Amino acid sequence: MTRIVINRSYDKFCVSHQALIRLRELGQREALEEEDTGAYWPAASGPREPSLNQYGRLIPRDDEHLVHVVEELGEAANGHAATLRIVTIPEDVPWLITKTEGGEQVSEVHRTWGGTT
């Protein structure tokens, strides 16, 4: 089975500063490359500070470290205005994340021809 992290809130996907630190501890590549602005203001990087809790947008949503951190931290993994959830789908299904009614969902990829132009 494939496990994918989605955001069920109306805002954009992001993880908290605490989740970024944990992802870095686990060696997650994109987290290691991302600038940690919370490192400059550790006292201000609490969960209620929006500017310091919007990380992880480049991390693949099926990344095993991301899934692990969301499970491990629970709500503490949520970035500013995010509500992260894990969705499990069959292994062999090509998928994409779509936004519907504000929140994200995982959809199976279907082919499309002759779009309107």
Mean per-residue pLDDT pooled into runs of 10, the chain (117 residues): 95 93 97 88 63 87 98 95 95 90 88 64
Residue 54: predicted pLDDT: 87
Question: Hey, what are 72's tokens?
Answer: 């491990």
- pLDDT for 38: 80
Going by C-alpha positions, the residue among 30, 13, 10, 11 that lies closest to residue 86 is: 13
CA 6 to chain centroid, in Å, comes to 6
DSSP state, 64? H
Q: Are 56 and 63 in contact (CB under 8 A)?
A: no
pLDDT at res. 37:
83
pLDDT value, residue 22: 97
User: How far from 83 is each of 8, 9, 16, 25, CA to CA, in Å?
Assistant: 5, 5, 11, 22
The pLDDT value recorded for residue 47 is 57
pTM above 0.85, yes or no: yes
